[in-house]
Structures are given as structure tokens and as C-alpha cells.
Amino acid sequence: VIGGGPAGATTASLLARRGVDVLLLEKSAFPRFHIGESLIPETYWTLERLGMIQKLEASDFPRKYSVQFVSGNGKESAPFYFHKFKPAKSSITWQVLRSRFDSMLLDNAREHGAEVRQSTRVRNVLFEERRAVGVALAANGRSEETIRASVVVDATGQSSFMARKLDLKRPDRRLRKAAIFAHFRGAHRDSGIDEGATLIIYVRENLGWFWYIPLPDDLVSVGLVGDPGFLIAGRGDDPAKTFFEEIDLCPALRSRLSKADIPSKVHVANDFSYGSSEIAGDGWVSVGDALGFLDPIYSSGVFLALVSGEMAADAIYAALRKGDTSGAVLSTFRGRLESGLDAFRNIIYAFYTPGFSFKRFLEHHPDHHGNLVSLLMGDVFRPEVHEIFTPLSQYCESVHSTTLAVGERPVS
């Protein structure tokens, strides 16, 4: 398994637990910083299967009960509480400090029997004819080490090792976004069950949006997402300056961050939305971001990393037992995974459609309220939930053409 993020650690844990010999190679030394801190409720089931629930319950990660939207002029919607829609312990999730969360998942893989090597970069995947047969490690001044494997799992995140190597990576041109983000200490936190709420705060004139995610150690993660033309290309070459300028222009953030320390490091991510035309081939499988990433809105990334890692582990285990690790057998989970990806993609496209509003969509289609909430919680694989997509796409087309006709800006 190449990469020890949530996807790689999940595949490694679930295979090692069933007695498969697993070697996981991670280029960094954990703990390391990573973005992607807000979980969605449906992560519960894979975390439960991994044996992580008790560990998370014992952690100091804030519990996330809700999501709340705040307009560009500071008007707050009522928080949407997941457990009120679906009263179950799986409906309350966590906001995670990824350095700690990813270390916990990697330790878990080790406890399940996987061998984990950190500070070990995979330099190449070895092929014989068209079959992946192992990896070559970075030499580090010594002679290059090669390791053979029945199956190579690409869990390299946005590096997408296999998709790049085999020219399978497909950018999503409808979702070309950039993000600027940082951790603040001492920012405002709500109290009680609202402490761990994710806030989605619209930028002035809906030119983008901020996430506001409370974390342990009195940290809050704040990120600004928008078109690269607005955030990067048109603003000089100082993303940190753009970030603080937009915070200053946003009343809801200005007040929440007024007593917070200025972060020492501001991060930038750009052009992060893509897919891959294949999820597996002879002797290899891709999982998590290595396979594709959509967009930060709706926090689908870690969920998809966990479930694709889980689906891949099941497919690999079945393939090893069958003695057939061909691409055809290893990619048996493709249809199911793609249905979930399509579901998220559709609601993300809706969010970015100029003039679109979920509130107004539901006024026209109140019967789809349950489906929409299910999707936002991550319940994306149930075929019934997908019944929302025909009316949703018709509604998007109608608001888009009206908005373009009257020249409005997008509204929330």
C-alpha cells in the first residue's frame, strides 16, 4: 500500500486483519499536517469496522452535531442537526485534527498486523508486461530497493501516482477551485452541542465561501474557497494577503477571529478536482484521493477515502482467495463507488450553479427533503436517494438560464 492517509490505512487494516501480508509505505514521518478535517456522519460505519469508534470517543476531537450556513452579511441560518433528522449515534460525528487522526488510523493498521514504514517514498511501480508486480523505493544514498507484491494499492492522495503514470487522471473542469487556509488559535467557539458545528460562511457577493471548523487545542480551521481567478490570478502573488483581506470583509469571520492569534502558516491548494478513468488494473487498485477528489464543500473527501479503502480491501481479499488479481476482478466495486461519487458530484455542481438555492429547490420539491439530507450525511449509495437528481438537474438548468438572463450573481 503506497500512502498512509485514511484510504491507505483503511485498506491496510482491513486486509491485515484477515491475515493478508501487508506492507504500507508512507513518505512522511507522522504526525504531519493535512487538510480535510470535517467528517460526515456516514463515516461511522467504516470507522466502526476499523475498530476506531472507541478511540475516537476517547479523543478530544470536537463532536460535530450540525452544519450552519451564514450569509455574506452575517445572517445565520438555523443549525442543521443531523441527529434530529436521524436519531442515531452514527449521526454525531467528529472534527478531526488530521495530524492526530491520520496517526491514529496508521497505528490502527499496525495493530491489525500491517507492517508500516514511514519516511519511505515509493519512486516507481514496477510492471511486467501490463501487470503491476511491486514497487521501487527511493534510494536514499543506498542501492534502490525493490519489493514485489501480488497487489499494489495506490493511496498516494492528490499525488495520484498510478493515474499520472498511466495517464488516467481527468481534471473536472466544472470544479476548478482554489483554497487558502490556516489554523487560528483562540477564535470564537459556540457552546454546548454547537461547539463543533461546521460553519459555511459566504464571501461578499457570493464570490466564494469560507469553512470554519473547530478543532482540539483551541484551534479553528478556516479556509477560503473560490475560483482561482478570484483568489490567486487576479490578486497578485500573495495568497495570505488575499486571505486576510477577505476575512476582514466578512463580518461573521471578523468578529469570530477578532481575539485569535494570526496563524504562522497559510496554505494554498489549487485545481484539486479530478477523477481517474480506471480504478484498477492487473495487479493494482487506486483508493481515496489517488482515484479522485471532488471539492471541499460537503466534506466528502475522508468519507470517500474510507469507503473506497474498505471496498478495495474486500475486492483484494476476494481476488487473492480466488487466485485472480486481474483488473477485472479487482475493479468489482467500481459501479457502487461511482454511484456514490456521482451523487456527491451532482449536489456539488448544484451548489456552484449560479442562482441555485437548496431552500428554494425544496420549496418546489418538499418530497425530496429526506433525500437531500441523506446525501449531505453521506448516505449516497442507496438507489432511492438518487431519485432527487432528475428534479435537481432540471431545477439547476432553470435557475442557471434565468440567472444568466438577468445577469445576477450566484446566491446561496
Ligand X SMILES: Cc1cc2nc3c(=O)[nH]c(=O)nc-3n(C[C@H](O)[C@H](O)[C@H](O)COP(=O)(O)OP(=O)(O)OC[C@H]3O[C@@H](n4cnc5c(N)ncnc54)[C@H](O)[C@@H]3O)c2cc1C
Residues that bind ligand X (CB under 6 A): 2-8, 25-28, 34-38, 121-122, 155-159, 161, 179, 223, 269, 272, 288-290, 293, 296, 299, 301-303, 305
Q: Which residues sit opposite 49 in a β-bridge?
A: none
Q: Which of 353, 358, 363, 344 is nearest to 397 (CA)?
A: 353
Q: How far apart are CA 131 and CA 133, in angstroms?
A: 6
Minimum distance between the CB of residue 317 and ligand X, rounded to whole angstroms?
Answer: 19
Minimum distance between the CB of residue 367 and ligand X, rounded to whole angstroms?
Answer: 29
Minimum distance between the CB of residue 102 and ligand X, rounded to whole angstroms?
Answer: 7
DSSP 192: G
Residue 155 or 307: which CB sits closer to ligand X?
Answer: 155
Question: Cα–chain-centroid distance for residue 44?
Answer: 15
Q: Which residues sit opposite 171 in a β-bridge?
A: 274
Map residue 126 onto helix, strand or coil. Answer: strand
Residue 48 or 369: which CB sits closer to ligand X?
Answer: 48
Minimum distance between the CB of residue 244 and ligand X, rounded to whole angstroms?
Answer: 18
Strands ordered across the beta sheet of 284-286: 152-154, 284-286, 280-281
Residue 200 or 250: which CB sits closer to ligand X?
Answer: 200
Grid coordinates given for 305: 477515502
Q: Which residues contact 376 (CB under 8 A, 6 or more apart)?
A: 40, 67, 80, 298, 347
Minimum distance between the CB of residue 141 and ligand X, rounded to whole angstroms?
Answer: 17
Structural contact between residues 273 and 177, judged by C-beta atoms closer than 8 angstroms: yes
Residue with cell 470535517: 38
Minimum distance between the CB of residue 297 and ligand X, rounded to whole angstroms?
Answer: 9
Residue 3 or 226: which CB sits closer to ligand X?
Answer: 3
Q: Which of 269, 244, 295, 290 is nearest to 122 (CA)?
A: 290
Residue 223 or 410: which CB sits closer to ligand X?
Answer: 223
Minimum distance between the CB of residue 9 and ligand X, rounded to whole angstroms?
Answer: 7
Q: How far apart are CA 387 and CA 226, in angstroms?
A: 29
CB atoms under 10 Å from CB of 140, counted, come to 11
**Helix (H) and strand (E) counts for the chain?**
15, 20
Minimum distance between the CB of residue 107 and ligand X, rounded to whole angstroms?
Answer: 14
Residue 158 or 393: which CB sits closer to ligand X?
Answer: 158
Q: Which residues contact 223 (CB under 8 A, 6 or more apart)?
A: 35, 179, 180, 181, 182, 210, 211, 296
Residue 282 or 289: which CB sits closer to ligand X?
Answer: 289
Grid coordinates given for 402: 434565468
Minimum distance between the CB of residue 289 and ligand X, rounded to whole angstroms?
Answer: 4
Residue 146 or 398: which CB sits closer to ligand X?
Answer: 146
Residue 8 or 72: which CB sits closer to ligand X?
Answer: 8
